[in-house]
Amino acid sequence: MTARHIAATLLLAAPMVLTAQQPVVEPPAAAPVTARTQPRAQEALLPNGMRLILLEQHRQPVVSIALTLPAGSVFDPEGREGTADLLAALLTRGGGTRNAEQVAQAIEGVGGSLSAVADPDQLTLQADVVSDQAPLALELMADALLRPALDSAEVAAQRARSANSLAGGLGSPGTIAARVFLIGTYRASPYARRATPQSVAAITRAELLAFHRARVRPAGAVLVIAGDITLVEARRLAVQAFGGWKGLRPAALPAVAATPAPQGIILVHVGGAREANIVFGATTFAGTDSAYYATAVLNRLLGDGRTGRLARALGGQRNWTLATGSSFLRTVRLGVFQATAAVPVEVADSALRVMYDEVNRLRTDLVPARELERARESVAGGFALQLQTASQLAAATAEARLLGLPGTYIGGYRPRILAVTAAQVRAAARRVLPATGLVTVVVGDATRLHAPLSAIGPVRIFAQDGRPLSPEQIAPAAGALRLDFSRHVPRTDSLAIIAQAQTVGLQVASLVRAGDSLTYVEQTALGTVLSQTTTLVFDTAGRMRRLVQVGKVRDQDTRIDLRYSAGRVQGATDLAGTDGPRHVDVDSPVPPGVVDDNGVQAILPFLPWALNTRWEIPVFASGENRIRTLSLTAADITQVTVPAGTFECYRADLEGGPQRVSFYVTTAAPHRVVRVELANSPIVFMAVNP
């Protein structure tokens, strides 16, 4: 075969190889992005100091008007946190000659919308209407802002709504973590202030008016009008609506300096929590700082919910995360950057180490080109998609202006982001997530978290209300085993025994008083496996007198008959054994306060219940003919739903016996047992009677 022949064969074969392999065509690349100059902002300063910015655009007959002014929550009076939010919520609930319903009808009747919102720095009113309704929109906005009704009934109703919704979220570990983190980073700065149900409930109408007088002033206010309107008309309407608004420039926000935070981990104790919520980060920079662009790219690289480095490190094979991400807040004076994760309590320390490692890698290594490119495009593209309507354009322009950013900011955003380099991302990581000075907050069960977290760094423990706790204090307090049988109310409870969603048995327990004795009778039937009746007699002080248990276990008869008296237990047990019945005579000394191990569930209603309390209970284990000490810990308070209803319960864990048992006991008297779980067993007991 000649060389030429071989070459010809190869040539012929080449296309066949190509079709056989079906080469995958790469997606087309991105086109270059240049800065935008449209729509060009036209500006006018009104005589009263208010700034008018017009973004003229005649694509559709729509006008969006955003009025923003420095009256955000950072100006809330101390102890009245939530004032700016409450005022914003009330501004659209009546103003000028219209009450709340008339305002709603007026804007709805032209197919428009009117809203108000408070951010940390600013309060913003916004109206979107068809352009020939611009005069009405400005009239409604001026009425809302300058002549709000602040009707007493509306104030009371909105205040209650706000306080309730705050109270609803207050106990959740995520909310606690976010709140403690902001206080930890911002420290003495007014940005650290957070509304609480108490601070909102305390706000009076007079205080809202005082805040309004102090902060709602024309100087410093920015009125952005975007859409189908000319400068002449916009100016005429703005003067007509706001020309009469007078007032001196409001007090400026004092400089906010980053204050170094103490080293270590802030651990907020939530007893019994099975998850740990982790937040760490630091304060960043002022709103106009050009480090913003690299930080935005860093945020996407680190904390994107699906593809970010945290999601890949904690999720994936480890599968630790319930949620993770990062975010950053941009404010006029000083922002914050934070990384967050919610993980099972067992892996909290490992997860925190992994998160620190990921951050450290961003501080030391340059991000690979492809990953960087994807993050940049994602940030820039997301921004473009946020600017599709006149309403979005007006809101973004108003916010940018109040942050102090130049008029070219929005048009130049995408090229700025797309030009961020790997070195700039690394510099941003070093700056906003510094190796020293990170504030780390973990919210969860400190009894389980304190030791493992201490191996990472110094840990300070706090209660949910901010009280510092010592490691000793988080250990459950020892409770005195004082049974208060005077609380007894005669009752009978039925618990269904459920395994894999099937009812397999029933337990009925009742407690009655007769003469100087209390008699507890518990009948248990578990299919054909077990049926037994246990009778326990106590004296009125809660001391054991007698135990009789008669039953059948797998067709074998069982019987226990014991008397407790004068520091001894005497009697006999006949139990089912592997080689047939087993008879044991009992005669042993017992400590004072001993409870038969068949009687633990019976005494639960009479304990002095309190969260995070541990009782040591001496029991006589009749089956084993010996004394044991069981410990019962009220570890958590939780809502429990069983066929009988939904109850707030203590979860009390019984340990020291052959099997860990969790009892759910109602927090309200008569402290019923509504659910029982056996560790490593599919069997659950659930109350069925109301």
Partner 1 sequence: MFSLLVLLVAAPLAGQGVGRIGFSRYTLSNGLEVTLAPDRSTQVVGVSVWYDAGSRLEPVAKAGLARLFERLMFAGSANVPPGGHATLTGDLGGRVGAIVDEESARFSTVLPSSRLALGLWLEANRMGSLSITDTTVGEARLELVEQLRDQLDQEPYAAVIASAVASLYDTLTCSGYAHAPLGRLQSITGLTTADAREFFRAHYAPNRASLTVTGDFDTTQARQLIAEYFGPLPRGPAVAPFACADAPPPAARTARVTDRTAPAIAVGQFFPIPPHAHRDTPALELLEVIMSQGGAGRLNAALVREALALGTQGGVLGQRRGPGAFGLFAIAAPGVAADSLAALVGAQARWAAGDGLTEAEVARAKRIYRATAVSGRERPADIAAALQHAFMFHGDPEAVNTEVDRVLAVTLADLRRVAGTWLNPAAALTLIVSPEAAR
Tell me the number of residues near partner 1 by CB under 8 A. 55
Least separation in angstroms between residue 68's CB and partner 1 is: 21
> Can you tell me which of 21, 388, 502, 639 binds partner 1, judged by CB under 8 A?
388
- Under the binding rule (CB under 8 A), the answer on residue 370 touching partner 1 is no
Least separation in angstroms between residue 564's CB and partner 1 is: 53
| Cβ-based neighbours of 10, under 8 Å, separated by 6 or more | none
Least separation in angstroms between residue 67's CB and partner 1 is: 20
> Can you tell me which of 18, 43, 60, 591 binds partner 1, judged by CB under 8 A?
60
C-beta of 231 vs 323, nearer to partner 1? 231
Evaluate the CA torsion angle 278, 281, 286, 288 in order and state its sign.
Answer: negative
C-beta of 73 vs 324, nearer to partner 1? 324
For partner 1, the binding residues in 64-93 under the rule CB under 8 A are none
- Under the binding rule (CB under 8 A), the answer on residue 566 touching partner 1 is no
C-beta of 383 vs 485, nearer to partner 1? 383
- Under the binding rule (CB under 8 A), the answer on residue 44 touching partner 1 is no
C-beta of 140 vs 632, nearer to partner 1? 140
CB half-sphere exposure, 516, CA atoms < 13 A: 5
C-beta of 63 vs 602, nearer to partner 1? 63
For partner 1, the binding residues in 5-34 under the rule CB under 8 A are 22, 24-33
Stretch that binds partner 1, among 162-170, 350-358, 380-388, 447-455 (CB under 8 A): 380-388
Q: Which two tokens stand for residue 689?
A: 């009677």
Least separation in angstroms between residue 259's CB and partner 1 is: 36
C-beta of 417 vs 630, nearer to partner 1? 417
DSSP letters spanning 252-274? PPPP----PPPSSEEEEE-TT-S
C-beta of 389 vs 510, nearer to partner 1? 389
For partner 1, the binding residues in 118-147 under the rule CB under 8 A are 128-133
> Can you tell me which of 157, 239, 253, 387 binds partner 1, judged by CB under 8 A?
387
C-beta of 187 vs 376, nearer to partner 1? 376
C-beta of 387 vs 506, nearer to partner 1? 387
For partner 1, the binding residues in 273-312 under the rule CB under 8 A are 306-307
Q: Quick check: 299 and 337 in contact, CB under 8 A? A: yes
Instruction: Give CA–CA dist 142/134, Å, rounded.
Output: 12
Count other Cβ atoms within 10 Å, centred on residue 94: 22
CB half-sphere exposure, 298, CA atoms < 13 A: 31
Least separation in angstroms between residue 679's CB and partner 1 is: 34
C-beta of 39 vs 218, nearer to partner 1? 39
Q: Quick check: 268 and 177 in contact, CB under 8 A? A: yes
End-to-end CA distance of the chain: 96
For partner 1, the binding residues in 177-236 under the rule CB under 8 A are 228-230, 233
Length of the chain: 690
Instruction: Give CA–CA dist 216/556, Å, rounded.
Output: 84
> Can you tell me which of 38, 436, 486, 502 binds partner 1, judged by CB under 8 A?
38
Least separation in angstroms between residue 633's CB and partner 1 is: 40
- Under the binding rule (CB under 8 A), the answer on residue 112 touching partner 1 is yes
Least separation in angstroms between residue 39's CB and partner 1 is: 6
- Under the binding rule (CB under 8 A), the answer on residue 36 touching partner 1 is yes
C-alpha angle 668/669/670, rounded to 5°?
Answer: 135
C-beta of 120 vs 308, nearer to partner 1? 308
Q: What backbone torsions phi and psi does residue 300 show, to the nearest 5 degrees?
A: -70, -45
Q: Which two tokens stand for residue 586?
A: 């009992």
C-beta of 412 vs 657, nearer to partner 1? 412
- Under the binding rule (CB under 8 A), the answer on residue 105 touching partner 1 is yes
Instruction: Give CA–CA dist 317/313, Å, rounded.
Output: 8
Q: Where are the beta strands (DSSP E) in 263-381?
A: 265-269, 275-283, 323-329, 336-344
Least separation in angstroms between residue 387's CB and partner 1 is: 6
- Under the binding rule (CB under 8 A), the answer on residue 639 touching partner 1 is no
Give burial (CB, 10 Å; 0-12/13-18/19+) of 355. buried
Residue 466 backbone zone (phi > 0: left; psi -120 to 50: alpha; other: beta): left
> Can you tell me which of 7, 9, 102, 111 binds partner 1, judged by CB under 8 A?
111
Q: Quick check: 219 and 246 in contact, CB under 8 A? A: no
Give burial (CB, 10 Å; 0-12/13-18/19+) of 108. exposed
- Under the binding rule (CB under 8 A), the answer on residue 52 touching partner 1 is no
Residue 662 pairs in a beta bridge with 653, 677
Q: Quick check: 83 and 90 in contact, CB under 8 A? A: no
Cis status, amide bond into 406, omega within 30 of 0: no
The contact set with partner 1 (CB under 8 A) reads: 22, 24-33, 36, 38-39, 56-62, 104-105, 108-112, 128-133, 228-230, 233, 306-307, 374, 377-385, 387-390, 414
